[in-house]
Amino acid sequence: MLHRLVQAYFAFTARIGVNADDSEEVRLQKSLLLSISPALILAGAVWSVMYVAFGEPIAGSIPGSYAVLSVLSILLFARHRHYVFFRFTQLLLILLLPFLLQIALGGFINSSAVVLWSLICPIGALIFAGPRQAVRWFALYLLLVVVSGFLQAYVRTTNNLSSSLVITLFVLNVGAISAIVFGLLVFFINQKDVAYQLLHAEQEKSENLLLNILPKEIAEILKNQAGTIADQYDQVSILFADLVNFTPLSAELSPSEMVGLLNQIFSHFDSLVDQYGVEKIETVGDEYMAACGVPRANPNHAQSIAQLALQMCSFMASFPSYNGRRLEIRIGIHSGPIIAGVIGRKKFAFELFGDTVNTANRMQSHGVPGKVQITRTTYELLKDEFVCEPRGKVMVKGKGELETWFLVGAK
């Protein structure tokens, strides 16, 4: 029941003075200030009654006046929706009330240092108006404290409050303000920790997203260095793999089915790439490109990429038919020097350039379904550890006749 009443109260205050163009932050500030104001009004009324009851009607009129003026301020805000004016009047009243009350009661000691409650003003400004305005309000608070000290010699030396009540109010004033300040510090520190955790989580998401686009080593360079990122790598093996029969099959599939099928196959290739320490470069349609020896040097680059190619062939050989069509894979590999770098400022990518890349692509396009075709350069690197079957010379566009081999398996 109490929970529902609290919810209804906050829902009611959230509707007062709201403008359609208010940001979420401003809406929250309005709702919070309106929710707190009735409690301060009630406290002012209680103070007023207490001081009148103990024979201090002038002192009692000050918190009573605050309560009346604060109610009028809320009514004006509800009617005209001038939030800045409403906020200003609330902060000003909170700043002046304790100061005037302290003067009326006879200074610091006789008033139980009630001016401490004026500290709520700059704290409230920090929450509702921001640090810049809070500094100004805090300067005014310090000025009132100094003025209170200056006026101490000119105010009355006694009042009608008993010494025991003065001490009790001292304890309440110091204790309450200390509790409020400490509570706000705890709140802000917790908010800082929450913000840090959220920031850390977002940084991890950004990091993972970047690592899905670029190799880890290149991502680190990109984060810490401005300018062009480009390097030459002398010992690299490049693999191109193409799904044979995928194009006619895709014409028979819905877009979601086609993407789902590609995702199933290429996701498995991704796991194989990680297993053999190879770097996935890109996918274009139904073609998959990977490289080994870039950006991390690997003396066994040809062996690693050969193992990857054989596993890709094995996976596709056991892949079930789809819509009555059997998918096969055609792979080409070549080894040699390349240039690699990050291209573009938007939607950038880690790109590989050079004749080695073009030759590897030709090995794939001039290859045979279900086979891994390699050049002499790659063959020389693999012949001691892998079984390779000579294919003979193949006429390759832009290259002329090239002697090639089929990679059969490990010895």
- Looking at residue 275, which CATH number applies to its domain? 3.30.70.1230
In angstroms, the CA 404 to CA 393 distance is 6
Does the residue 216 lie in any domain? no
Q: Name the DSSP letter for residue 118.
A: G
Q: Is 163 left (phi over 0), alpha (psi -120 to 50) or beta?
A: alpha
Region 49-68: mean pLDDT is 91
pLDDT in tens, 99-123: 999 999 998 889 999 999 999 999 9
Rounded CA gap, 389 and 370, in Å? 14
* Angle at CA of residue 170, ends 169 and 175, nearest 5°: 100
| 249-252-257-259 Cα dihedral, nearest 10 degrees | 50
Q: Examine the domain organization and report whether 178 and 236 are in the same domain.
A: no
Q: Are residues 100 and 155 in the same domain?
A: yes
Average pLDDT value for residue range 332-351: 80
Lowest-pLDDT choice from 188-197, 263-272, 287-296: 188-197
Answer yes or no: do 263 and 393 share one domain: yes
What letter does residue 323 receive in the DSSP assignment?
T
Q: Is 292 found in the same domain as 391?
A: yes
If asked whether residues 251 and 136 sit together in one domain, one would say no
Tell me the average pLDDT across 369-378: 94
Q: What is the mean pLDDT of the chain?
A: 85
Can you give the pLDDT at residue 206?
66
- How many of the other CB atoms lie within 10 Å of CB of 176? 13
Q: 362 and 246, same structural domain?
A: yes
- Out of 158, 177, 198, pick the residue that ends a domain: 198
Q: What is the mean pLDDT of residues 73-97?
A: 88
- 10-26 mean pLDDT: 67
Cα first-last separation, the chain? 78
The confidence band for 32, taking pLDDT boundaries of 50, 70 and 90, is: confident
Is pLDDT above 70 for 27? yes
Sign of torsion, CA 397 402 406 411? negative
Angle at 146 between CA 145 and CA 147, to 5 degrees: 90
321 DSSP assignment: P
pLDDT at 320: 85
Mean pLDDT of 352-366: 92
The per-residue pLDDT for range 280-334, each reduced to its tens digit, is 988 888 899 999 998 888 999 999 999 999 999 999 999 888 777 788 999 999 9
| pLDDT attached to residue 367 | 92
Instruction: For the chain, give the longest Cα–Cα distance.
Output: 115
The amino acid occupying position 40 is L
Residue 147: the pLDDT is 93
Give the separation between CA 176 and CA 239, rounded to whole angstroms. 72
Which of 392, 391, 388 is CA-nearest to residue 411?
388
Q: How many CB atoms lie within 10 A of CB 283?
A: 15
- Torsion-angle region of 148 (φ positive above 0: left; ψ -120 to 50: alpha; else: beta): alpha
Q: How many CA atoms lie within 13 A of 394 on its CB side?
A: 21
User: If 0-12 CB within 10 Å is exposed, 13-18 middle and 19+ buried, where does residue 262 land?
Assistant: middle
The mean pLDDT of 65-91, rounded to a whole number, is: 87
Calpha distance 332→374 (Å, rounded): 6
Q: Check: CB of residue 338 under 8 Å from CB of residue 236.
A: yes
Looking at the domain assignment, is residue 71 inside a domain? yes
Q: Which residues pair with 394 in a beta bridge?
A: 402
Q: Quick check: 250 pLDDT over 90?
A: no
Distance (Å) of CA 73 to CA 2, 35, 129, 226:
28, 14, 17, 55
- Selection from 239, 222, 245, 200 nearest residue 357 by Cα: 239
Q: For residue 374, what is the DSSP state? A: E
Residue 211 lies in a domain: no
Q: The domain containing residue 74 runs over which residues? A: 2-198
pLDDT at 19: 67
Output 11 or 319, whichever has higher pLDDT: 319
Q: How many domains does the chain have?
A: 2
Q: How many CA atoms lie less than 13 Å away from 313 in the CB half-sphere?
A: 21
Given a cut of 70, is residue 15 above it in pLDDT? no
Exposure string over 238-250, b if 16+ CB within 10 A, otherwise e: bbbbbbbebeebb
pLDDT band at 181 (very low <50, low <70, confident <90, very high): confident
- How far is it, in rounded angstroms, from Cα 290 to Cα 357? 10
238 and 384 both lie in a single domain: yes
Q: Does 11 reside within a domain?
A: yes
HSE-up of residue 132 (Cα within 13 Å, Cβ side): 0
- 44 lies in the same domain as 180: yes
**What is d(CA 265, CA 234) in angstroms, rounded to the nearest whole number?**
31
**pLDDT tens column, 194-231:** 778 887 777 777 666 656 666 666 666 666 665 566 78
| 3-class DSSP state of 380 | helix
The pLDDT score that the predictor gives to residue 216 is 66
Q: With 70 as the cut, is the pLDDT of residue 18 above it?
A: no
Pick 405 or 322 by higher pLDDT.
405
Q: Is residue 212 part of a domain?
A: no
233 and 192 in one domain? no
- Does some domain include residue 99? yes
pLDDT at 345: 67
Question: 322 lies in a domain?
Answer: yes
Q: Helix axis angle, 301-317 relative to 255-275, nearest 10°?
A: 140
pTM of the predicted model as reported, rounded to 2 decimal places: 0.57
Q: How many CB atoms lie within 10 A of CB 48?
A: 21
Residue 156 pLDDT > 80: yes
192 and 236 in a single domain? The answer is no
Residue 7's pLDDT band, with cuts at 50, 70 and 90, is low
Task: For residue 254, tell me if it sits in a domain.
Answer: yes
Per-residue pLDDT, averaged over 73-93, amounts to 87
Q: Which helix (H) or strand (E) holds 237?
A: strand 230-244
Q: Are 184 and 232 part of one and the same domain?
A: no
Question: Are both 145 and 235 inside the same structural domain?
Answer: no
pLDDT tens per residue across span 380-391: 999 999 999 999
**Residues 347-357: tens digit of each pLDDT:** 667 788 899 99
The two tokens of residue 202 are 């977002």
Please calculate the CA angle 241-294-398 and round it to the nearest 5 degrees: 50
Contacts of 145 (CB under 8 A, 6+ apart): 115, 118
Over range 17-33, report the average pLDDT: 73
